[in-house]
Amino acid sequence: MQWEKDARQSIDQIPIHDSIRKLLVVWAEKLARQRQSGTVTMEDVRQTGSDYSRHFGAEKMKKIGEARRSGLSDTDLDIQDSLNREPALFRIELCHSRFFGCPNDLIDVKELGARIRQKLEELSVTEIIADKAREVLMPHSMFTVSVSGCSNMCTAPESKELGIHGVARPVVTDRECSECGRCLTACLDRIISLHGGRPVINFDYCRLCGACIRACPTGAIAASTQGVRILAGGTIGRFARYGREIFKMTDSETIFGVLEALALLLKSEWSEDHEDHFSLLLSRIGVAPLYEHMGITGCKTQPK
């Protein structure tokens, strides 16, 4: 696909992360193809800007504009870089909401990422892992904490040692339903239907993404609770496995209790004879000791 010089320059100047910029480029090329043209023009770029503005919303576009005017680069804006700059055996991954927010986010990933880093430092997680390691330290020695703003889980938290993402539980209220159908299309899992003029949600398959809550103009669907889902023990590579759900929905402060319990487990249960990875440790001992370290025992208090 060819690009008019101005068009390409214009898209290159937008102060967004390169991975998103590439998506804008592909979108603009799609628009050109729709015109049955082999060249992207400024009009395609303008249309791309308008399509993405609609998606991101006015507030985020204002922040992007301000960053552009002050000449900030991706690196200047990327808190993830600064969180991982110092030598450490943990890594914090944050979804793209870390730049200017995201229409889907349910938690402040920047604020959480900074607090998690501070906690991992306080708990001396680097020193604990280093002291237990049998071999020289390699990238797979890292303890990664992945934080995503919503159930879309753009950082793949289910494949990291500790995964966190924002969640919101919908509830059907007694407010009027206009039968507009917006919730039906907003729900990517297609688990909402309308019966007798009222929305019905199949909660067995609800991912707590909050999309139906945002889409509903009348409040017939609203948020009953909001918080985070926490997964532990995921990894990719040699011993690939999904993280286990530790909390389906809890408040963000619980993350710090989980981190304390994980640090205690690493110290007390990590076996130089058996494990080279946290996910193997969790597979061997199960998740019950983690709850015990958090003071959670018995069926009544076990998280769902």
Binding-site ranges for ligand SF4 (CB under 6 A): 95-97, 102, 104-105, 148-150, 152-154, 170, 177-183, 186-187, 189, 191-192, 194, 199, 201, 206-212, 215-218, 220-221
Q: Give the integer Cα–Cα distance in Å for 226 and 69.
A: 35
- Least CB distance to ligand SF4 at residue 254 (A): 19
In the chain, count H helices and then E strands. Answer: 14, 9
Residue (87 or 196) nearer to ligand SF4, CB = 196
Residue (130 or 200) nearer to ligand SF4, CB = 200
Q: Give the integer Cα–Cα distance in Å for 242 and 160.
A: 8
- Least CB distance to ligand SF4 at residue 304 (A): 16
- Least CB distance to ligand SF4 at residue 26 (A): 17
Helix 125-132 vs helix 254-269: crossing angle, to nearest 10: 20
Q: Give the integer Cα–Cα distance in Å for 66 and 172.
A: 39
Query: Does residue 243 contact residue 229 with C-beta atoms inside 8 Å?
Result: no
Query: Does residue 264 contact residue 200 with C-beta atoms inside 8 Å?
Result: no
Residue facing ligand SF4 at closest CB distance: 149
User: Largest alpha-carbon pair distance within the chain?
Assistant: 66
Residue (177 or 266) nearer to ligand SF4, CB = 177
- Least CB distance to ligand SF4 at residue 56 (A): 10
Residue linked to tokens 């011993």:
239
- Least CB distance to ligand SF4 at residue 188 (A): 7
Residue (48 or 97) nearer to ligand SF4, CB = 97
Residue (95 or 112) nearer to ligand SF4, CB = 95
Residue (133 or 186) nearer to ligand SF4, CB = 186
HSE-CB at 162 with a 13 A cutoff on CA atoms is 26
- Least CB distance to ligand SF4 at residue 73 (A): 20
Distances (CA, A) of 257 to 92, 250, 251, 264, 273: 17, 11, 11, 11, 28
